[in-house]
Amino acid sequence: MRFELQVGISVVAAATVLSGCLSTSEVLELGKDTYSVSATADGMRSAASARQRAFEAGRDTCTKQGKRFMLANESTSPTRMWIDTTVDVTFRCLNEDDPEYVRPRIRQAPDVIIEDQKK
């Protein structure tokens, strides 16, 4: 019986470690109808799971207000010695009839910005 208990505890501990960790920040209000949230996945979880968690937090915030989630900006960055991945999502909560509630034009942000200093 004691051996079975030890094996059971070991299996639960291993499953917990292998499942990884996913954390989400509080949703922050940035301005009128505009919010930001971050989610971080450790090395055992994929960046996609952090992205999904951030989007879910945003959607839930808007749903509680009776509004619709609209993506404004998204960025992904490595954290904690390039082991973890953090996804930052900026979004707006808009009424369905708001003129700004339109199909989003999603474009990847540039990796390099070239500044013209000849001004």
C-alpha span between 58 and 69 (Å, rounded): 7
In the chain, the number of structural domains is 1
Residue percentage of the chain with pLDDT more than 70: 80
Count of positions (residues) in the chain: 119
Does residue 116 form part of some domain?
A: no
Residue 112 scores a pLDDT above 80: no
Please, which residues have CB within 8 angstroms of residue 103's CB and are 6 or more apart in sequence?
none
Residue 30 lies in a domain: yes
Asked whether the predicted pLDDT for residue 17 surpasses 50, the reply is no
Residue 113 placed within a domain: no
Residue 98's pLDDT band (cuts 50, 70, 90): very high
Per-residue confidence (pLDDT) for residue 105, from 0 to 100: 81
Domain range for residue 53?
21-94
Mean pLDDT score of the chain: 83
User: Is 39 a domain residue?
Assistant: yes
Q: Which pair of structure tokens corresponds to residue 9?
A: 């505890």
- Amino acid, single-letter form, for residue 79: T
Tell me which residue of 21, 27, 84, 75 sits closest to 51, measured CA to CA: 75
Q: Is residue 53 part of a domain?
A: yes
Is the pLDDT confidence value at 11 over 70?
no
Q: The whole model's pTM is what?
A: 0.72
Q: How far is Cα 76 from Cα 85, in angstroms, rounded to an integer?
A: 7
